[in-house]
Amino acid sequence: MTRAALIRRYPSSRREAPTRKRAQSAHPVGGSEPQDAALYRLRSDADMQQVARDVLAHAKQMGASDCAVDVDEGNGLTVNVRNGRIETIEQNHDKGVGVTVFLGGGNEVRRGNASTSDLTAGALRAAVEAAYHIAKFTAIDAAAALPEDSWYAREPRELDLYHPWNIEADAAAEIARRAEAAALETSPLIRNSDGGNVSLQHGRFVSANSRGFVGGHAHSYHSIAVAPIASRPRDGMQRDEWYVSRRDPADLPSAESVGRYAAERTLARLGARKIDTCTVPVLFEAPLAAGLLGAYVGAASGRSLYRSASFLLGKLGQRVFAEHIDIVDDPFVLKGMASGWFDDDGIATQKRTVVEAGVLTGWFLGNYSARKLGLPPTGNGGGAHNLAIRSRLTKPGDDFKAMLKKMGTGLLVTELMGQGVNTITGDYSRGASGYWVEGGRIAYPVEEITIAGNMLDMLGRIVAVGTDVLTSGSRGTGSILIESMTVAGN
C-alpha cells in the first residue's frame, strides 16, 4: 500500500459541524415528497414572523424598553449503518423561541432571557413574562443594549443556502451502505468498520426586534461519513474516517469515493511508529490547518479581547502572520457554510481583509463585545464568515505533493488530540500523529508524539500555503507549512 491517499485532492472535509448563519432565502421545499414528507415541511417565513410579532407586542404591553426574539425550526434524518446493517435511524423535529427583554436605556440597561419550545400563544406570553421578570433583577450592563439603528442590515441578499434532500430512511441507509462497502472492498486489510453515516438537516430561522429589524432564512446541511478499521498482525489496528458535508446534496461526491478515500487513509496509518524528539519543519494537512485559523479567530474575537485573555492584545496594526499571508472574511459566498447578510445581532455583514501582508487589520466583534471595547461592531456576532487564508507566494502548482517537496524532511501532521492552545499566552501543545517525510516523500507513519510551539511564533513562521484548499465549516485553507516546531517523541 502506497501513501497515495495523501497526495491527491480531498473529496471533501473532515467532520465539523457547520456554522449556521442567517441569510435571506425564499426557496420553497422542493422535489417530490416521500412517504414521510411531513418530516421535511417547515413553517413559512410569514408564519414565523407572526410568532415574532406576537412576542414583541406582548413585551411592549408589559412595559419593556426593547425586545428581541429568535424563532427557529428544524428537522432532519440521520441513519447509521455498520457492516451493512442499519444500527440507528434518528428523526428530529425541533422548534423554539428565544426572547430577550431589555429594561432601561443609555448606560442603565438590564436584560433577561427566556426560551420555550411551545409556540402556543399562552407559552409565548409566559416566556416574555419570564424574561421580563429576570431582567428586573439582573445587574445593570451598559453594553447589553440592542445595536444602534444604523448598524442593522437593511438590504437582503440571496445566498443560496437552502437545498432540501427529500429522501427516506431506506434511501439514506443505502447511500451509507455504499460508502461503507467501498471502504471494505478497498483492501482485505480493511477488516471492520465503525460504520457509515448519512445525515440531512433542514431548518428555517427568523430574527426580529422592537427596533424594526426582521430577517430570516432557510438552510440545509447534508453529510456522508465513513470510519473504516484496518489491521495487520505485525502492525496492530488503525482507524481513520472521512466526512463530507454540503449545503446542496447535488454537490456531494459519490458515496463510493468517500468510502475509498477513508479506507486509503486508514491503510496508510498501518505500521505507525514513534520518532525521536527533534525540531523540524511541520506541515499541517488542510483539515488541521483550518484548526490553526480557528485558534487565531478565538484570540481575535471580542470575548477574548474584552476579558484580556488573548495573545493578540495590542497587536492590531502590527505584523502577526508571515508577510506573505492575507486572510479574508467573506459572508457572501454562495452556498457557504458560514454565509449571511446579517449576523446573530442583526448587524450588516461585510467582506473584509482581516490580515493583509501579515498585518492584523481587523477583529471579530458582535454587538456586545464591540460595546465592551468601545469599538464599532464588525458583523461577526456568531463568528467568522467563510474565512480564507492565502499566501502571496503560492503558485498554481503548489498542490499537496509540492508542499511535501517544499518541506523536504520533517513531520506531516494529519491528526491532533487534545485542546492544547492557551488563548492568553499563545502556547501550543497538542498530541499528534501523521507521517515522517524524507526528501519530500512520505517515509512512514508516526504516532504517540507531541508538537509544541507558540501561536505568534507559528503564525509568523508560515513558509507556504498549498493550493489543496479544503473548506471546513467557517474556514478554508490549503495545507500550511511551519518553518519549525518542537516534536516530542522518544
In tens, the pLDDT along 419-444 reads 789 999 999 999 999 999 999 999 99
Q: Is 465 exposed, middle or buried (0-12, 13-18, 19+ CB in 10 A)?
A: buried
Q: Are residues 229 and 324 in the same domain?
A: no
Out of 218, 236, 268, a domain closes at: 268
Contact between 205 and 22 under an 8 Å Cβ cutoff? The reply is: yes
pLDDT score for 2: 44
CATH code for the domain of 176: 3.30.2290.10
For residue 110, being part of any structural domain is answered with: yes
Q: Is 392 helix (H, G, I), strand (E, B) or coil?
A: coil
Q: Is 169 helix (H, G, I), strand (E, B) or coil?
A: helix
pLDDT score for 235: 86
Residue 62 one-letter amino acid: M
For residue 254, being part of any structural domain is answered with: yes
Q: Is 237 helix (H, G, I), strand (E, B) or coil?
A: strand
Question: pTM for this one?
Answer: 0.90
Q: Are residues 321 and 361 in the same domain?
A: yes
pLDDT score for 6: 52
Note the maximum CA span of the chain.
Answer: 74
Length of the chain: 490
Instruction: Give CA–CA dist 247/225, Å, rounded.
Output: 15
Q: Are residues 249 and 285 in the same domain?
A: no
pLDDT score for 42: 63
Instruction: Give CA–CA dist 284/325, Å, rounded.
Output: 16
Q: Are residues 150 and 220 in the same domain?
A: yes
Q: Are residues 247 and 354 in the same domain?
A: no
The alpha carbons of the chain give a radius of gyration, in whole angstroms, of 24
Listed as ranges, residues in the chain with pLDDT below 50 are: 1-5, 7-9, 12-40
CB atoms within 10 A of CB 448: 14
Written in H, E and C, the secondary structure of 455-471 is: HHHHHHCEEEECCCCEE
For residue 37, being part of any structural domain is answered with: yes
Q: Are residues 229 and 287 in the same domain?
A: no
pLDDT score for 153: 96
Instruction: Give CA–CA dist 378/330, Å, rounded.
Output: 12
Q: Please, where are the H alpha helices in 284-323?
A: 286-299, 302-306
Instruction: Give CA–CA dist 32/105, Å, rounded.
Output: 51
H or E stretch including 223? strand 214-232
Q: Is 288 exposed, middle or buried (0-12, 13-18, 19+ CB in 10 A)?
A: buried
Q: Are residues 227 and 376 in the same domain?
A: no
Out of 268, 295, 328, a domain closes at: 268
For residue 239, being part of any structural domain is answered with: yes
Query: In sequence order, which residues have a C-beta less than 8 Å from that of residue 85 and are 6 or more positions away?
Result: none
For residue 384, being part of any structural domain is answered with: yes
Q: Are residues 457 and 396 in the same domain?
A: yes
Q: Are residues 53 and 29 in the same domain?
A: yes
Q: In this structure, what DSSP letter does residue 50 have?
A: H
Out of 268, 296, 319, a domain closes at: 268
**Across the beta sheet with 475-477, what order do the strands follow?**
359-360, 352-356, 325-329, 387-391, 475-477, 470-472
User: Which residue range is the domain that position 316 belongs to?
Assistant: 278-488
Grid coordinates in use for 242? 472521512
Partners of 215 in beta bridges: 207
Our count of domains for the chain comes to: 2
Mind listing the pLDDT tens digit for each residue in 297-351? 999 999 999 999 999 999 999 999 999 999 999 999 999 999 999 999 999 999 9
Q: What CA–CA distances, in Å, run from 257 to 175, 183, 262, 349?
A: 12, 9, 8, 36
Q: Are residues 20 and 153 in the same domain?
A: yes
Q: Are residues 462 and 322 in the same domain?
A: yes
Taking the CA atoms of 251, 257, 263 and 268 in sequence, report the sign of the dihedral they define.
negative
Q: Are residues 217 and 341 in the same domain?
A: no
Partners of 434 in beta bridges: 413, 446
For residue 273, being part of any structural domain is answered with: no
For residue 346, being part of any structural domain is answered with: yes
How far out from the chain centre does Cα 50 lie? 31
- Give strand ranges (E) for 241-331: 242-246, 278-284, 325-329
Residue 17 one-letter amino acid: A
CB atoms within 10 A of CB 94: 12
- Give strand ranges (E) for 16-126: 66-82, 85-103, 110-116
Instruction: Give CA–CA dist 60/57, Å, rounded.
Output: 5
Q: Is 479 exposed, middle or buried (0-12, 13-18, 19+ CB in 10 A)?
A: buried
